[in-house]
Structure formats: structure tokens, C-alpha cells
Structure 1
């Protein structure tokens, strides 16, 4: 269940299975027929000259999660932050993050983070230094399936620095973070005053509010926002209010 954008998901014998992260899905009659796989995926023999085709397995009803780790030059690897990937439903592609995760059972999350840290320590022993994002899915039975490691800056790196700057290094004791990107919005010159007027902008006294994490409204009309709140209910309320405000500007 990889949430990479723009890639088709190859669905085999279960036409009712949704491939989260895929913008197009294909039902194959015979999963062992590599010729059909290549044809349906739009590939040619040059993409897999030795027949080395990697097929993703999609587990229904899963939650996509990640942790960002730091493998320093000196000292042990540490978990910096972790959370749940948010998706838009049509199609179900990556839309943002929720830190900590909203809907992952505690034991499954603890197992995932401990195994991710063990993986990070192994990576460190191989010479890996710096940041890495370790991804997995957690199925309905609580099983953890690791599916990807990106040894680089991740989609939560800037979020980590934003919340640590505004709330502090122990922010998870008192706050949650919700982000969303590719959000249609007016120029910041219009949006920020409206957010302040409606009490949505980050307020250090109240300890909650919304921060614009990146602005591309001039080029694409989109931006990314971050909601910082004391709990997910408060975060959802702030996000709903912002959605309503953006709808007014869009009308």
C-alpha cells in the first residue's frame, strides 16, 4: 500500500480491493502472466529485461504510518516524530499527515516504532547517517508490514521543526499536529488577515492555531497548512473552520 503519486496499482483477483495511493487500478486475470502485467502496466521488455517484476501487495483496511529517525555520527539512532498518513478518498492519495496517529491501536504503534528504531540502528551500523523516514502499513489485525525506507529529508521534517519551535521539544505531551497540502487558497495577503480575524491563526497564548507551512499560491494556487491543537477534536474543529473560510474565498 504505497502512497506514491501517479503510479497504477495492479489488482489481481479481487476487483473490490482499493489500491490506496493509486490513481488508476487494473484487474488482471492471471497474476502469473508477466506478459499481461507488462502490457497492462504500460511497460516494455526494456524495463524488465530479465523478467524481474516487483508486484506490490495491497492489504485492505490498512492504515499507513511512518516514523522519521535520525542516525547521528555519534550516539544511537533516535525517533524524531511519527504519525499517520492522511488520504483523500477519490482517489485515495496522500494528502497530509497526522501526528501522533489518530486511529492506530497502541500495541501496534509501539511494535511499529520499536521495530523501526531497530531497523534504524541496523542502518546506522551500515554507515547510514542523517535523517530517514521508515514507512509501514498496519492491517486490521494489528500486523505491521514495512514497505519503504527513504534515507533523506521527509514529508514531516519541516513539520517537526515547526512544532518544536512553537510548542517545544516535548510537544507530544500536550499537542497534536495535523497537516494538509495541495490546498486551494487565495494569496497569503488575503488569507492571513482573514485567519487572524476568525481566530484561526496560531496563538501562543492559547496554544493552538493554524500555521501556513508552505505557500505556492502565486504559481499553482495551492498551499500547505499545519494545525496545532491540544487534541484531535480541537484540531478537527480548527480545520473545519479553515475549510469553511477557504470556501468563502473560493465562491
Structure 2
């Protein structure tokens, strides 16, 4: 079925910069990754122009004719009012022409997407009503996640939803008893950018999943200052949870289709490393690995919980893509952290794996991402991979695929290593580092959109 691919990335993220005239920019980088979702006869609605040289590589690797794909670049972020502009609706209507086989694939299911579907005659009716009433807002906020999760028995960290500086101070002091460290979360942020840890358990060392570690607020005045720092007038709410060290960190990706049918897609694992920036140690997100390296019984238990919750969310009316973060603590407990009703960073490698290896690729292959590769021209990048014999080979089912590459020689590159074992995937990952060279750690703004 042909689809209209809508690259309406979560434009409210605080660290996403406005679109400059050209690459590199983080929204633009996300759009290059999204080229992997396209297929023959699709329409891509993008906030930026897409690099045709790289798009040709994607189409050739995936096996379709790029000339059959239509790209409608709007030159600005795809807010709902941009999606509903008359000229865009008219152009899409001319292509769709009442054909019921067309579908929409947006990053975010918004009111504007629901209205666009209605205007184009695509899946009108109850399938879009949840989005039309801003139902995804129930799922993309951490406070709402806790409220929904308790009803299905989803394992959560001890925590509290707070709506005042007094409540914040009370929750922090109460929850410190669990592990000696708590995390205060902005209600609507991504990539750990809105998370701050407070500890009484020792030195202020960096912790995975938070942007910094601080001393515990000493009094109400300190709590009030923190409240002013992390909240906005229209969103006077924070989530406080006990912080737990994780031995495994991963997530589940689902798709909810017509009638609320829930389809499990993949379970990527997070890859992090401890590095230094300007002499200051910090944990950085460096990529994903599919499938996550998690013990089978633990993974099965987590998947059971996640499936129940996904079904409950589908019953509420959610349609489209969603993902759930989970950790396994050092004492063996499962803790679910959040749900996101949008594309995840794992959807691109999953799509590549499915295209190149089949729907059950994770039964016999491992995919691991290699990010932040030093800039080089795209032809030079491909030539280097092929000359070393490590570019993906369909016959062997192993090798390196370039996931994202900007049009300028100054733009960084992202790849994935595909292999038949975890050990071989890591060997290929090391080879990419030698052949193409890995740059500095992931930038702060890039972390904020890493989930896409």
C-alpha cells in the first residue's frame, strides 16, 4: 500500500534548534534517517529538502526506484497548521484521488494529522478520533504515564507526581530512603535532557539517563528554585522517582493498527559509555543494539507486562507507533520508565533489518548502531567501506549499512553493523571505527532528539 510519510518530529523539544538553511542540524539529521521508511510510490512530506544522493543509496539498498517517490519539502517544521496549508492538501489530494489503499505514517499522531486524514478521505472515522482529541498527550507525559501504568500493574519505581515546590521537597526527602538517590523529571522531555538526579549517597558522580547530579535541595527555597528551573507556567508538574542503577536498559517498540491490533516490532538495547567533556565525566548515549542482550526469562517477563500495557493503550484509542522504556535493576527488579507515542530511534534499524533480512531478522542476526562518525564525503565513506570489504553484502547477510549522511563533507555519519552473532557485530563495529573514525561524544542537542 502506498503511504504518505509525514516527518512531523516532536517540534516542542527544548533542545531542538530551528532549521538553518542547510545541514548539519538535528532535525535535518532525523529526516535523513527517515528516508529508510520510504518505499516505491510513497509521498514524503518533510520539513527540509532531502539529499538525493543519499536517498538514491537508500533506495538502491532497499531495492526500489527512487524516481517513484515524491518529496514535498515545506522549508519549516511540520506544525499542524503547516500540514493543513491549502497548497499541500491540494497536492496530496491530487495524488490520493480517493484511493482507499493510501495510508498515513506520521512520526506523531496529532490533531493536524487526523484532520489531514479526514480531508484526504484516509481512514476517517473512529480510527483517528483519539488523535483528533489530542489523545497522544496522555501517553507522552511522564505524569500521565504513571497514572495509566498503575492501573495495569506495570512495575514502576517508587515515585510521586508533584504540583508545587512544597510537594517537590516532600517527595524528594521521602523517596531518598529507597536508594539514596532520586531523579526529578520534567513532564515532557526526551533523551534524559529533562532529568536531574539528587543524591545523599556519596559524591556527585554522573549517572546514566540524567543530565547532571546535584546535592539534595536543602530547604524550601532551594526546592522553589528547582521548581522554577524545570517547570513552565502551562505545565506546573514534575515527576519524582527513586533512582536505580541498571544492569540492562532497553525498550519495546509496537505498532497499533486498525481495530486496535497491537503488533510487537523490536526490543532495542541502549548503548552508553562514560566519557569526559572539558574534563568533566558524563554518561553518553552512543546507540542501540537489536535485539537487546537481556536474559530470556527477564525479557519474557518484561514483554508480558509491556504487552498488557500496549493492549490497554490501544483500547483507549491510540493508533500508530509507540515504545516503552524499561530497566533491570542491580537487584533484579523490572522498572518501566515511560511510554512515547511516536517513532523511536530503534524504528530505523528495525526497518533496515526487516527490509534486508526479513521480518524475523532478530532470530538470526544482531544490529548495532555506530554513531557520530567523523565527517567525510558520502562517496568517500562508501568507497572506504567497500574497499575494506565490510559494506553490507546481501549474500552473506553481514556488513555495514550507512543509516544517515548529510550532503556536506562536514556532516557526521551514522551506520549500523549487521552480523549473524553479537560477537561478529561488535567486531564490525570496531572495524567501522578504524575505517571511518569515530568523533567526539554525542552533542547535547543531539541527545534530545536521539529517540527519533
Q: TM-score, normalised by structure 2?
A: 0.50
The equivalent residue for 1:86 is 271
Given candidates 198, 201, 209, the residue that maps to 1:21 is 209
The equivalent residue for 2:287 is 96
Q: Which consecutive unaligned segments of at least 5 residues does structure 2 have?
A: 1-182, 276-281, 441-452
The equivalent residue for 2:141 is none
Q: Which consecutive unaligned segments of at least 5 residues does structure 1 have?
A: none
Classify 1:219/1:247 alpha carbon distance in 2 versus 1 (closer, same or farther; 3 Å): closer
- Shift of residue 166 of structure 1? 0.5
Higher helix fraction: Structure 1 or Structure 2?
2
The equivalent residue for 2:229 is 43
Q: Secondary structure at the match of 1:111?
A: helix
The equivalent residue for 2:353 is 163
Residue range with higher mean Cα deviation, 87-96 or 199-208 = 87-96
Inter-partner Cα distance in structure 1 for 2:196 and 2:439 = 36
Which structure is richer in relative contact order (CA contacts within 8 A, separation 6 or more)?
A: 2
The equivalent residue for 1:66 is 251
Inter-partner Cα distance in structure 1 for 2:386 and 2:238 = 52
- Shift of residue 210 of structure 1? 0.6
Structure 1 moving runs of 4+ over 6 Å: none
Q: Secondary structure at the match of 1:21?
A: coil
Contact 1:15–1:27 under 8 Å retained in 2: no
Residues 1:228 and 2:418 are matched in the alignment = yes
Paired residue total: 246
- Shift of residue 7 of structure 1? 3.7
What pairs up with 1:108-127 in 2 under 5 angstroms? 108-127=298-317
Q: TM-score, normalised by structure 1?
A: 0.87
Residues 1:105 and 2:105 are matched in the alignment = no
Q: Secondary structure at the match of 2:339?
A: strand
- Shift of residue 141 of structure 1? 2.5
Classify 1:107/1:217 alpha carbon distance in 2 versus 1 (closer, same or farther; 3 Å): farther
Inter-partner Cα distance in structure 1 for 2:439 and 2:331 = 43
Query: What is the root-mean-square deviation of aligned Cα atoms in Å?
Result: 2.8
Classify 1:174/1:122 alpha carbon distance in 2 versus 1 (closer, same or farther; 3 Å): same
Inter-partner Cα distance in structure 2 for 1:29 and 1:249 = 37
